[in-house]
Structure 1
Amino acid sequence: MTHENDGNGERANHPSNAPRRTTDGAPDGGSVAAPDRRTVARSAALAAALLLTGAGTAHARAARPRFPRSPESPEGPASPEITGSAEHTRSTGRGTASTEAMANAASHGLTVRLPAPTGRHRIGVTTLHLVDPRRRDPWDARIPVREVMATVFYPARTVHGRPVAPQMTPDAAAAFGELVPAVRPGMPATGVNWAATATHAHAGAPAQAVRRPVLLYTPGGGDPRTLGTGLAEELASHGHVVVTVDHPGDASEVDFPTATRHRRKLRRTVLMGDPRTDPALFRTLIETRVADTRFVLDRLHLLAAGHNPDAGRRPVPECLGRALDLRRVGVYGHSAGGTAAAEVLYEDRRVAAAVTMEGYLDHPPRRPGEEGELFPVARHGVDRPLLLLGTDGFAGRKQLERSWSAMLAHPRGRTVRRQFGDTAHHVFTDYAAIAPQLQAAGLLAAEHRVGLVGAMDPATAVPLVRDHVRSFFARHLSPRTLTVG
C-alpha cells in the first residue's frame, strides 16, 4: 500500500510517533539486541499485515515504511508479503512468495520494490555531473580530470506533472545486473529486472524555497550510489536535502550523461576484490573518496550562490539552490564510505556531524602480524558528533574493533556507538529490502540473504536503520545544538 498524498509538496496522514531518544539522538539503548525467534516471527507477521492492509494504529503506520505495490499489477501483492519472516527464513530456508510474484519473475524478471519514505514531504530528484579540473582521475591515467556523479533528493514544492524517477538508468541497471553476481555471493545472474525498480522521487520537481540541512552520502566500496536510495528518500521526506555521491572507478558502475574522448558513457569499477587486501589501493580509495566528497560540497556552495555547477549546464530544478542550508551539513557513509565520512568530518570544519555505518577507521596492515595505521580521525579524535553503527553479522567486526575502540577512547570526544543484532553488513543499504524479496522469489538462498543483510525482517530492519540515522542528524543539525566553528 502506498502513502496517500495531497498532490503538492507534503504527504498526508503522517502522525509523528517517534520512539523515545537518548541524549545522542539515537533510540534508547546502546545496542539493539536480536529478539528471540518467536518474538521476531510474531512481530514481523503483524507488521507485514499492517503494511499490506493499511490497518492498525497510527503508530504502526508511522513506524513502518510502506512497500508500494508492483507497477505491473496495481492490485498485486505488496512486497512485505513476499519477504517472509525471520523465523521462516531460518527454519525452512525459504520465504513466502506469492504465485503472481513467482510468475512475474519467471516471465519478465522480478521487479524489486523499495520501501516508501515516511516523512510528510513529497520528494524531487535531479542528477549533477561535476568535474574537478584540479585533479586527475586516480584510477585511469587517460582521464585528465576528476569527474563525479551525484543525485540530489530534496523536499519538493509540487510534483504535479513530474515523472517518478527509476532507481537506476537502463545502462546502469544492465551493468549492475552483470557485475553484482561476481561481487555478492549468491546474487542472481538472471531473473531480476533491475531497470524496472522505481523510486518515490519525481524528476526535476521544483524545490521548496526553504533552507534545509544538507546531507552527503558516500556508498560502500564497489557499490553505486543508487544502493543508498531508500535511506536518502527517507531523509529527504523528513526535510533534508540529500546528495548521494558516486566515486567513478571505484563504484560498480557510473552512468554519465554523455561519453567523452577519454572515457565511455558508462564507466565500470576497477576493483577486483577486497580493497583492504592491498594497503596502497585502500589508501588511494579513501583519499579519493574524501576529496570527492569535499569537492561536491564545494560545488553545492556554488549552487547555493545561484550558479549551475553541472558540467554540461543541464538545468537544475527551480529553487534548488535556495533549499541548501550549508551551515548545517552532515555526511554519512557505508563501509569504505563510512571511513570517508568520518575522515571528512575530521578534515572539513564545514561538516557538523557524521554517521559511519561499519567503516574501518584504520588502514590495513602492510605486513601480516602488524597493526594498520589509524586514520587521523581515530588517532586524534574529533570535537563534533560521530555515530558509529555496526551489526553482529559483519565478518570484519573483530578487525573493526581496534579502530572503533580508539575512536571512542578520546576523553572529550562526541562519538557514540550502536550495534544491531540479527543483521549483517549490507543492512544499511537497499539490499535490506531487496535481498528478502529475491529470497522469497527463489532467486537468493537463505544463507546468502543472511550473510548479506541478516535474518531480521525488513519491516523491522529498514526502519531501525532509518530511525537511527534520521534522529541523529535531526538532533545534531538543529540550529539550537549546532557547534561548528
Structure 2
Amino acid sequence: MSHRIGRLALAVLLALPAAASWASTSEAAVTNRLPGVATEPPTALRIPKPTGKLPVGLTSLHLKDTSRPDPWVPSMKARELMVSLWYPAAKSGGARAPYMTVKESELTLKEAGASGVPGDLLSKTRIDAVEDARPAKGRLPLVVLSPGFTKPRYSLTGLAEDLASRGYAVAVIGHTYENVATSFPDGRVTQCVACEIEPKTPAFWAKIGQIRAADVSFVLDSLLAKYPKLIDRSRIAMGGHSVGGASSVAALLKDSRLRAGMNIDGTAVVPVPGSGLAKPYLLLGAEAKHSPGKDPSWDQSWPNLTGWKRWFVVTGTEHASFTDISGLSEQLGIDDGADLPATRSLEITRGIVAAFYDLHLRRKPQPLLNDPASRYPEVKSVGGAS
C-alpha cells in the first residue's frame, strides 16, 4: 500500500515518508486532519532566518558523473546531479537566491494536487542566502544532506541555511529521478521515474540507499576538487531526512571521508549491519513513530551502532516537522497533523543538529547532547549514550 500526500492539498507539497509503504499513518487519517488551503493564500512564503552570526551564500552546482550511467534511466550514460552548496559569505548584501525554479514550483504544486494557489508560489519563498556570494576565507567543515524520497533538495533549506550561518559548508543533493522535479541549467526538467516503480519493496529502498551512497561519494570528489581552499577534507559528515537519513548508513560504510552521520525521522531501510557501524551516529525522530517499540528498524539498528550514539524523539512532531514543509504548510493555513508549532520544531532540529556536528567535526563539548530536555523539554533521550 502506497501512501501519497499528493492529492491531499498543499499540506504535503510532496509525498509521505521515505518508506511510505511501511508507514503507520493511513491516507484517510491524514485527510481527516487537513482543513485545506487557506481561503486567501499568501502571495509569498518565508523560511525562518538562520540563527548563526554569519551571512550566508548559496550556489547551485550541476555535476556529471561520467563513470556510471543513471541507475533509474540507463539510457542516460552519465549520472547528473544538481547540488545546492551553502556557505558563510564574505559579506552581507546582494540578490537573494531563489528557493526553487518556477517550473519546479509548478510541478511540485501540480503533484500535490494544490488548488487556489499560483503555480509559481514556491519559487517566491524568501530565504536569506545571497546567490553566488563570495565565500568567507578559511577552510570549513562540510555537512552533506540528503532529502526524503520525492522531496527536492530545497526541503532542507531551513536546516542548511542555519548550519552555514554557524560556519559550515553544506551540500544538499538533489537525487535525480527520485524527486518531483529537478531543473538543470540547460532548461531540462527531470521528474520522478523512481516513483513509478511498484511495489516499493525492501529491495527498492536498498537500491535507493546504494544509489545515494554513490551520489554522496561522487559529490565529495567533485567538491574537494573544485573547492580545495574552502572545504576541510578532514572534517566531513552526513545527515538526511527520511530515506536520505537512512541512506547515511550506506554512505558512512562506503566512504571513509565521512566521519559521522545522522538519520532524521527515516525508517532504517538501510539497516546498520550486524558487523556494526563505529562512527558517531544520531537518530532524531517523531516520538509517536520512532520511540522504542514503535519502529522495529530503529530497534534493530540501535545495538549495531558501536560508536558514540544518541537516540532522541520529539513530542508533538510529524514526519514533515523536521523539514521546510511543515513551516510552509503552516503559513498557508494548513494543518499537517503536528501538535508542535513548525517554528519550534525547526528551532529544536537546528539546535540538536548543530550540536552534533559541532561535537564531532569541531570537537566542541556539547552538554545539550547529554541532556536535550534541559533546553528543549519536548525532546526525550530514549537510547543509552556511549
Decide whether aligned partners of structure 1 residues 273 and 460 sit closer, same or farther in structure 2, where only a CA change above 3 A counts. farther
In structure 1, distance between residues paired with 2:198 and 2:261: 23
Are residues 1:298 and 2:188 paired? Answer: no
Matched residues in 2 for 1:293 and 1:178: separation?
Answer: 29
Residue type of the alignment partner of 2:359: R
TM-score, normalization by structure 2: 0.79
CA displacement, residues 20-46 of structure 1 (integer Å, 9 cap, x when unaligned):
xxxxxxxxxxxxxxxxxxxxxxxxxxx
Q: Which residue of 2 aligns with 1:352?
A: 259
Amino acid at match of 2:115: A
Kept in 1: contact 2:277–2:305 (CA 8 A): no
**Contact persistence 1:362–1:378 (CA under 8 A):** no
Contact 1:167 1:197 in 2 (8 A): yes
1:423 paired to 2:356? no
Structure 1 residue ranges (4+ consecutive) displaced by more than 4 angstroms after TM superposition: 92-95, 273-276, 396-400
* Distance in 2 between residues matched to 1:239 and 1:400, nearest whole Å: 36
CA contact (8 A) 2:212 2:251 kept: no
Match of 1:406, as an amino acid? Q
Give the alignment of 1:36-115 within 5 angstroms. 103=40, 105=41, 110-115=43-48
Deviation sequence 1:391-428 (CA, Å, 0-9, x none): 0344x878973332233214843221000111111111
Aligned equivalents of 1:328, 1:391: Cα separation in 2: 29
Q: Which residue of 2 aligns with 1:247?
A: 175
Counterpart selection for 1:175 from 107, 117, 126: 107
Q: Which residue of 2 aligns with 1:381?
A: 276
Per-residue deviation, residues 332-353 of structure 1 (Å, max 9, x unmatched): 1011101111221222111111
Secondary structure at the counterpart of residue 70 of structure 2: coil
2:67 match: secondary structure:
coil
Matched, 1:280 2:208: no
Matched, 1:469 2:376: no
Q: Deviations over 1:86-135 (max 9, x none)?
A: xxxxxx9879x9xxx965x2xxx642211110110000110110001111
Distance of 1:407 and 1:414 partners within structure 2: 14
* Cα separation, 2, equivalents of 1:386 and 1:427: 21
Q: Which of 112, 124, 131 is 1:196 aligned to?
A: 124
**Could you say which residue in structure 1 is the equivalent of 2:163?**
235
Partner of 1:239, secondary structure, is coil
Partner Cα distance (1:172, 1:143) in 2: 21
| Equivalent AA in structure 2 for residue 389 of structure 1 | L
TM-score of the pair, normalised by structure 1? 0.64
Amino acid of the residue matched to residue 223 of structure 2? Answer: L
- Per the TM alignment, residue 359 of structure 1 is displaced from its structure 2 partner at its CA by 2.1
| 2:144–2:173 contact (8 Å) kept in structure 1 | yes
Residue 72 of structure 2 is aligned to residue 130 of structure 1 = no
Distance 1:273 1:302 in 2: 35
CA 1:102–1:212 in structure 2 vs 1: closer, same or farther (change >3 Å)? same
- 1:148 is aligned to 2:77: no
Looking at structure 1, the residues matched to 247 and 34 of structure 2 have their Cα atoms a distance apart, in angstroms, of 36
Q: Secondary structure at the match of 1:409?
A: helix
Of the candidates 212, 233, 243, which is equivalent to residue 289 of structure 1?
Answer: 212
Alpha-carbon deviations, 1:133-157, whole Å to 9, x = none? 1110111122111011101010000
Query: Partners of 2:278 and 2:322 in 1: how far apart?
Result: 25
CA contact (8 A) 1:378 1:403 kept: no
Quick one: distance in 1 between partners of 2:353 and 2:206? Answer: 27
Deviation at 1:383, TM superposition (A): 1.5
Q: How many residue pairs are counted as aligned between the two chains?
A: 331
SS at match of 1:126: strand
* Partners of 2:178 and 2:195 within 8 A in 1: no
Matched, 1:157 2:61: no
SS of the aligned residue for 1:222 comes to coil
Query: Could you list the runs of 5+ residues in structure 1 that have no partner in the other structure?
Result: 1-91, 182-187, 260-264, 306-321, 364-374
- Residue 285 of structure 1 aligns with an amino acid whose one-letter code is I
**Equivalent in the alignment of 2:18:** none
Task: Give 1:303 deviation, angstroms.
Answer: 1.4
Q: Distance in 1 between matches of 2:342 and 2:200?
A: 32
Which amino acid in the other structure matches residue 107 of structure 2? A
Give the residue type in structure 2 aligned to 1:332: G
Instruction: Supply the distance in 2 between the matched residues of 1:330 and 1:118 (Cα, whole angstroms).
Output: 21
Alpha carbons 1:276, 1:282 under 8 Å: kept: no
Q: Which residue of 1 aligns with 2:22?
A: none
- When Rg is computed on C-alpha atoms for both structures, the one with the higher figure is 1
1:379 Cα offset (Å): 2.5
Distance 2:34 2:61 in 1: 42
CA distance in 2, matches of 1:249, 1:479: 37
Q: Which residue of 1 aligns with 2:23?
A: none
Match of 2:298 in 1: 404
For residue 280 of structure 1, give the secondary structure of its aligned residue in structure 2.
helix
Identity of aligned residues (%): 28
2:148 counterpart residue number: 220
Deviation digits for residues 178-221 of structure 1 (CA, Å, limit 9, x no counterpart) = 1233xxxxxx3331511211211001110011111100010001
- 1:457 alignment partner, one of 341, 344, 366: 341
Deviation at 1:479, TM superposition (A): 4.8
Q: Distance in 1 between matches of 2:305 and 2:260?
A: 18
* In structure 2, C-alpha distance between the alignment counterparts of 1:267 and 1:93, rounded to whole Å: 30
Aligned twin of 2:380: none
Unpaired runs of 5+ residues, structure 2, are: 1-32, 366-386
Contact 1:379 1:406 in 2 (8 A): no
Distance verdict in 2 for CA 1:248–1:331, change over 3 Å = same
